[in-house]
Amino acid sequence: MQLTAENYYSNEANREYMSVSQFKDFYGTYGRLGCEFTALEKLEERWEEEETTALLVGSYVDAYFEGTSERFKIEHPNIFKKTGDKGLLKDYVKAEEIIARIERDEYFMKYMSGQKQVIMTGELFGTKWKIKIDSYIPDVAIVDLKVMASITELKWVKDIGYLDFVRYWGYDIQGAVYQEIVRQNTGKKLPFYIAAATKEKEPDIRIVHATDNYLQEALNVVGANMPRVLRVKSGEAEPDRCELCDCCRHNRVLTRPISIMDLTSGI
């Protein structure tokens, strides 16, 4: 299957290729548990994740820098008010502010100057992978643009403690896989940067270098867990249910009571 901008996110592409977001669906990240059951339900088209405003705001900013804003607006009429001046909803007015803030910074813009939404494929840990790079500067850098709530606020994770946003959301995994697939395609191991911008009242902007020591550790985590992911994806192994997510709740069939102990077993 030849991947294009049109079929990149299709189920057919997801069945043939592994991607970072699919790996995170199955396995999770340091911060968030995956759900094998939901990951499979999505592949089988029995479950669809809701398109959240947070995701759409990110896509809006991506589209701007890709130069595809007009098409994005046509394809997403729900980002406009239905009454009054029919202008952008407030989340997208904020997105416009974020874009203006980014454009005011020459250094940030250098990182955004690469080829946009570049698709590459490769092979890793026994399966084919697909990646899509926000800003690819050949021979120089791999850049991923992220719009988020806060760059500096840490996230509390049980058994680990406070985590930075990079590892909480598994952007270290993304960097590791992108770096390796780019290396397979070009022979060059390039640094991975997150071009981060926030939705705060006064937007914050930073270029975060996810250094190779973190990427190596993340790649080890992927490698250690891929055999299980592939067995579940191919149907050789039964998927585990996290029992916490929307999809698990939706598909819950009661057969017995649980005990008070069960309610605290996660602690």
| Angle between the N-to-C axes of helices 212-233 and 36-43, in degrees from 0 to 180, rounded to the nearest 10 | 70
Instruction: State the nearest-atom distance from the C-beta of 180 to Zn ion, in Å.
Output: 29
Distance in angstroms (rounded) separating the CA atoms of residues 196 and 250: 34
Q: How many CA atoms lie within 13 A of 200 on its CB side?
A: 11
Q: Which is nearer to Zn ion, 119 or 245 (CB)?
A: 245
Q: Which is nearer to Zn ion, 163 or 245 (CB)?
A: 245
Q: Which is nearer to Zn ion, 183 or 252 (CB)?
A: 252
Instruction: State the nearest-atom distance from the C-beta of 35 to Zn ion, in Å.
Output: 3
Q: Which is nearer to Zn ion, 56 or 242 (CB)?
A: 242
Residue with tokens 């997105």: 95
Task: Check residue 32 for interaction with Zn ion (CB under 5 A).
Answer: no
Instruction: State the nearest-atom distance from the C-beta of 232 to Zn ion, in Å.
Output: 13
Q: Are strands 205-210 and 155-157 parallel, antiparallel or unpaired?
A: unpaired
State how far the alpha carbon of 241 is from the alpha carbons of 18, 88, 238, 249, in Å: 20, 39, 9, 10
Q: Which is nearer to Zn ion, 29 or 38 (CB)?
A: 38
Coil, helix or strand at residue 157: strand
Going by the DSSP 8-state scheme, the letter that residue 78 receives in this structure is G
162: number of Cβ within 10 Å: 10
Question: Per-residue x/- mask for Zn ion, residues 235 to 254, rule CB under 5 A?
Answer: -------x--x--x------
Instruction: State the nearest-atom distance from the C-beta of 25 to Zn ion, in Å.
Output: 10
Residue 86 burial by CB count (10 A; 0-12/13-18/19+): exposed, middle or buried? exposed
Coil, helix or strand at residue 122: strand
H or E element in which residue 176 lies:
helix 171-186
Q: Which is nearer to Zn ion, 207 or 248 (CB)?
A: 248
The only residue of 35, 79, 166, 229 in contact with Zn ion, by rule CB under 5 A:
35
Instruction: State the nearest-atom distance from the C-beta of 172 to Zn ion, in Å.
Output: 23
Instruction: State the nearest-atom distance from the C-beta of 204 to Zn ion, in Å.
Output: 33
* Chain contacts with Zn ion (rule: CB under 5 A): 35, 38, 242, 245, 248
